Structure 1
Amino acid sequence: MHYEIFATVEDFEACNAMPYVRDWFAKLPELVEGGVKVTRMAVAAKPAPKDRAELGGTGQSAL
């Protein structure tokens, strides 16, 4: 699997517009078995909490 994460939609679009990326996408059908699945995920508007305390918990594990 291959994942890339971009800070903004504009960064994502700029990357996909690069000639070497377009060439790589064009070659994918001959390089893979079973097809290619692209999943586009949204940029979160609010960062995830850094620890459980921000979620209202104690930050301590029950283990």
Structure 2
Amino acid sequence: MHRHDYGGATCALDGKMTLYREGAAPKHAATHECYYMPANNVMAGVDAGTVNAAMLDIFQVPEG
């Protein structure tokens, strides 16, 4: 479990990822799909597929 100071997205480049967030239903991203991760939420991303997932995390952070 962890949290991020800034919101962002995880995109599954291959495989399947599942996002578990405190107080929310799980979100899934299969190959070429994305899900949003809100800032300051306790969460965990899990490789939920049958192959090793490759993913890209994208965050918007303030300048500097």
> Do the structures match in fold with TM over 0.5?
no
The structure in which a higher percent of residues are helix is: 1
Q: Which has the larger radius of gyration?
A: 1
The structure in which a higher percent of residues are strand is: 2
Higher relative contact order (CA 8 A, sep 6+): 2
